[in-house]
Amino acid sequence: MKVLKKTLLLAAIGSSLFATASSAEQVNLTWQMWTGSETDTKSWQHLAEMVTAKYPDIKVTLTTTGWVDYWTRLPVLAASGQLADIVSMQSLRMPNFYSLLEPLNDRIEADKFDVAAFTPSIIGGMSVDKQLYGLPYDVGPWVIYYNQDALEAAGVPLPKPGWTLAEFTDAAKKLTKDGKYGFGITPTNYSVLAAAWGDKYVNDAGELDLTSASAVAAADRVIGFAAKDKIAPLVPSGGADPGDVVQGRFNSGNVAMYIDGPWSIIGMKDRAKFKIGLTTLPRDEGELSAVTAGSGFGISTSSKNKDAAWKAIQVLTSPEALSYLAEQGRALPARTAAQSAWYKVAAKDITNGGEAIDYSLAHSVPYVITNNWAAVENLFNQYFPLAFAGSADAKQTMESIQSLAQQ
């Protein structure tokens, strides 16, 4: 009887010790990520497992939603105190949401994390006021996709990186006939093209300034594609995303060229029935300034496991992880050294794919945006269609958007 009691006591003490040791070592992190498909989800799950492979005491639980829903749910989760430890963030939405994320500069300095290994423009995109809030996993300069079959049929020379606005417009005019268009323009292309031409739409103080001479001049050119030159189809301000509409027209062969980023290549290959080429945005007289966007992973300010999350996001953006994403064609890596892997896989069948990306990245700048950029883009989508249809001029359009964006 005494022996049994002692045995039970020892067992209880032992269990208690094991439990204590186990709970002290094991960290469970949650990670919020958007996803576009089952294949996408598997890629992210693979990255989550890479964290555990490197740090066996850290387990990362991935939760995914679609792209659009992600941004609707994020503030709701934040407001209700349910943010994940690791929060995925796109550079264009960083000004809206950076307050949810832990500043990383101190950790980078303490651990001597090599920020220089990443493409500088996306480090700028993931920063607010020089403070980095997320480690980037991808970088995407806006480029022009073209329908090579259509260009060859029309006798248009294939565009070279660094081509000019005049060359671009001339090509688009030759490609516009028989109900087909040379180019597909959307309202949100305005800021991408304005930046490419060196025209400012945000002033030096970081405020939206759409009524400046250069901003209006850029708007005049963009609007002219549809309203004056008529090289682009009209896109209404409808429920379908204008970008999706134009992409659909490109995939069906109705428009020969359109603006998008490298993130679209993986899906495009399955849909387009023609040879696809890639080239840079058209530059003005000066050098090209290709804006970039990208996404990365931040640490929630409300996380109770910030140190473990910091380790985790270093793994999620490690050379091994980004090379994996590149080989999957999932993302153009934010790490410069890993980008060649992406060219070999995702851009393999794209004419001039590597050259266009290289040239754009070599001339890339962060996408300059304001803290209410989502609202500004909505206003672009609402007001540019009137101008494209010829019902409003560039100055009127920019004045309307400027006054409403300030609300």
Partner 1 sequence: MSQSAVAEVSLQPGRPRRFLKPETQTAMLFLLPSFLGFMVFMALPILASLALSFTNWQLISTPSFVGFQNYIRLFTVDPAFYTILRNTLFFAVEYLALNLVISLTLAVWISSLKRGKAIFRVIFFLPTFTPTIAASVVWLLIFTPDGLADTIIRALGLGLPNFLLSSSWAMQAIVLVTLWANVGYNVVMFNAALDLVPKHYLEAATIDGANAWQRFWRIRLPLISPTIFFGTVMTAITSLQIFDEVFAMTRGGPGSATATLGFAIYQKGFTNFQMGYASALAWVMFVMIMALTILQFHMQRKWVHYDD
Residues in contact with partner 1 by CB under 8 A are 72, 75-76, 78-79, 96-97, 99-100, 179, 233-240, 245, 372, 374-375, 378, 381-383, 385-386, 388-389, 391-392, 400, 403-404, 407
Please, are residues 83 and 63 in contact by the beta-carbon 8 Å criterion?
Answer: no
In Å, how far are 29, 99, 123, 308 from 43, measured between CA atoms? Answer: 18, 28, 23, 21
Structure tokens at 289: 């300034």
Q: What is the DSSP letter of 182?
A: S
CB-based contacts of 274, cutoff 8 Å, min separation 6: 147, 148, 149, 150, 253
In Å, how far are 152, 187, 197 from 246, measured between CA atoms? Answer: 21, 11, 22
Q: Closest CB to partner 1 among 19 and 234?
A: 234
Residue 237 CB, nearest distance to partner 1 (Å)?
Answer: 3
Strand 295-299 relative to strand 135-136, pairing: antiparallel
Q: Closest CB to partner 1 among 92 and 122?
A: 92
Residue 71 identity: W
What sign results for the dihedral spanned by CA atoms 172, 174, 175, 181?
positive
Q: Closest CB to partner 1 among 183 and 359?
A: 183
Q: Closest CB to partner 1 among 146 and 383?
A: 383
Q: Closest CB to partner 1 among 158 and 389?
A: 389
Residue 75 CB, nearest distance to partner 1 (Å)?
Answer: 4
Please, are residues 124 and 195 in contact by the beta-carbon 8 Å criterion?
Answer: no
Q: Closest CB to partner 1 among 40 and 241?
A: 241
Residue 295 CB, nearest distance to partner 1 (Å)?
Answer: 19
Residue 229 CB, nearest distance to partner 1 (Å)?
Answer: 17
What gap in Å lies between CA 247 and CA 245, rounded to an integer?
5
Residue 403 CB, nearest distance to partner 1 (Å)?
Answer: 5
Residue 20 CB, nearest distance to partner 1 (Å)?
Answer: 37
Our separate counts of H helices and E strands in the chain read 18, 13
Residue 230 CB, nearest distance to partner 1 (Å)?
Answer: 12
Using the structure block, give the residue that is written with the tokens 């896109």: 235
Q: Closest CB to partner 1 among 123 and 401?
A: 401
